[in-house]
Each structure stands twice: as structure tokens, then as C-alpha cells.
Amino acid sequence: MENLLVTFGLSDPQALWALIKTMLRILLIMTIAAILMKISSKLIIKLKQHLKVRAEGDAEELKRIDTLGRVFRYIATILIAVIAIVEVLHELGISIAPILAAAGVVGVAVGFGAQSLIKDYFNGFFILLENQIRQGDVVDAGGKAGFVEEVTLRFIKMRDYDGNVHYVPNGIITTVTNMSRGFAQSVIDVGVAYRENVDEVMQIMHQVGEGMRTDEEFQFKILDNMEMAGVDRLGDSAVTIRCRFKVQALEQWGVRREFLKRIKAEFDKRGIEIPYPHLTIYPGQNKDGTAPALNINQPGKSTAEPAGSN
């Protein structure tokens, strides 16, 4: 033991005592840092609970509180860790000023190569400040769409319908389409054959919509009566009639599926045709104004014959 102390120059009791005090101070700094991290975490949790009580069950505000709470906890942990490291370096006798100066020079050099990373943090800060995206939202951002599982200052973690997880850096987000705010519109297009009565079809669609409004499963999801837009397109093989429901956020897809299911059953009951794409074949016309007839007696074959021929 004595040889080991001599090797490290600690044979002097004063030097040994100074080292022990330094190690104890470092241990104290690390302990205080750990305690502060736990205290900050608990304070943020209590603040979240207080804000949730004041939110009075507002689902959108609750999601915003959860998102901000996660970010504040991350920031508090980073700040406490940085301060603890600086104090430990000070106890070890390492001057911070040269490190800061060197970090400044290196930072300028690295900054050119880390511009995208810096942009991620700046964009993330404003996305959170402006409340554009929150944990639990369904959004389309950065070319990806899905359920937001995590929001940080650097990236957004989304899971799509197929279960794929997308990490989208905040720096590439220029436009955010949020499908979870307030209410949504479930837009539905229904195609029917040209020979069907459009007014009758729209009346049936209204009846199906009213039935869903009184259904126990959907009466709280649908916020207003169905809005009929009317004939939207005259397609190649169908007349497209458009309607929409004002629904709770994230319920637009379920309401649309149920409406299509019910309208299909109602059309089948009333004999209303939902056509397949088809073509009307026109063989042309003779110069004298007579049109040839099509021989469709043989399946898979069609031959043109002069009009009036036997």
C-alpha cells in the first residue's frame, strides 16, 4: 500500500487528505445532481397533474401538457448534467476557460457540418412553442403520416397504419397537416349507375346518415347531420355523389367505413346499381347515315353487319 501511495506521489499525508477531500466533493456534486434530477422530475410530474386538473378534461390540452412535460424533463436533465460536469472539472483543477475557448473554435468548425442538426432543434422548438404537433396526434409531416408516439426537440416519432415507425427530423418539416384538432370531416363519395335516379339515391343516403346519428355506437362520434354536397363527378361509368359528416377528431375513417357498409346493404336491398367500369362500343356509321348492328350472339365475338340485313 505504501509503495502504491509513493508511486502516485501521495506519501505526504496532506496531499492524501487533499485528494480525499476532492473525491468527497466530487461525490457530493454527483449526489446533488442525481437528487436534483429526481426533484425536477417530480416537480414536472406535479405541474403536469395540476395543469391537467385545470384543463378540465380537454383532450387536446391534455396531449399538449404531456408533450411539453416530456420536453421540459429532457431539458432539465441536460442542464443539471452540464452544470455537474463543469463543477467536477473545477474540483479536478481543470480550467474551464480554455475548454470553452477551444469549444468555441471547434463549434464554429463543426457548426458548418452540423447545420442540419441545429436546424432540427430550432424547428423543434418552434413546433412545440406554436403547438403544431403533440404526442397522440395523427399528422402528416415531412412526407410521412401516422400516429405521433414521441415529440422531441430533434425529431418526431410516428407509427403508420401498417405498424412502421418513422423518425422525422424536425429540420425537414415545412408543412404540418394535423388531423386531430377539434373536429374532422368524413368525406364520402358514392358511385351509382347513370340510369339510377340521383334524387332517390341522395334520399337514401340521407336516411342511412340519420340512422347512424341515432345509433348508440356512432351518435357521440358524429357531431352534426350529414351534409349533402350533391353530384360531384360524371365519371366514365358512374355518377359520383359526395356527402360528409362532421365528426370527432380521428373518427372520420371509422364513420366512413360504416357508412359505406350500410349504403351498400341499402343499395342491394333496393336494387340500386353500383357499376363496374364499362365501355359502350360504337362501331361507326356508314356514309349514307345507316349504322351497322353488332352481332353479340356469340360470346367473345362481335361482328358488324349493315343495318336492316338478315
Same domain? For 264 and 197 the reply is: yes
Flag whether 208 is in a domain. Answer: yes
3 state SS of 116: helix
Same domain? For 140 and 216 the reply is: no
pLDDT digits (tens, 9 = 90+) for 7-35: 555 556 666 677 777 888 888 888 988 88
Same domain? For 75 and 59 the reply is: yes
Flag whether 202 is in a domain. Answer: yes
Residue 156 corresponds to which cell in the numbers above? 418526431
What's the average model confidence in pLDDT over 281-296?
Answer: 65
Same domain? For 261 and 189 the reply is: yes
pLDDT digits (tens, 9 = 90+) for 258-269: 999 999 999 999
Amino acid letter, residue 67: T
**Domain span at residue 229?**
183-270
Same domain? For 37 and 82 the reply is: yes
At 163 the pLDDT is: 92
Query: Quick one: residue 117, left, alpha or beta (phi over 0 = left, psi -120 to 50 = alpha)?
Result: alpha
Flag whether 294 is in a domain. Answer: no
Same domain? For 64 and 41 the reply is: yes
- What CATH number is attached to the domain comprising 149? 2.30.30.60
pLDDT digits (tens, 9 = 90+) for 185-225: 999 999 999 999 999 999 999 999 999 999 999 989 999 99
Q: Looking at the 3D structure of the chain, how many domains does it have?
A: 3
- What CATH number is attached to the domain comprising 255? 3.30.70.100
Percent of the chain with pLDDT over 90: 35
Q: Are strands 176-178 and 183-192 parallel, antiparallel or unpaired?
A: unpaired
What is the CB neighbour count within 10 angstroms for residue 168? 20
Flag whether 284 is in a domain. Answer: no
Q: Are strands 183-192 and 165-169 parallel, antiparallel or unpaired?
A: unpaired
Alpha-helix runs per DSSP H in 271-309 = none
pLDDT digits (tens, 9 = 90+) for 80-111: 888 888 888 877 777 766 666 666 656 665 55
At 116 the pLDDT is: 78
Flag whether 158 is in a domain. Answer: yes
SS3 content of the chain, % helix, strand, coil (to 5): 50, 20, 30
Q: Residue 154 pLDDT more than 60? A: yes
Contact indicator for 195, 158 with CB cutoff of 8 Å: no
Same domain? For 60 and 88 the reply is: yes
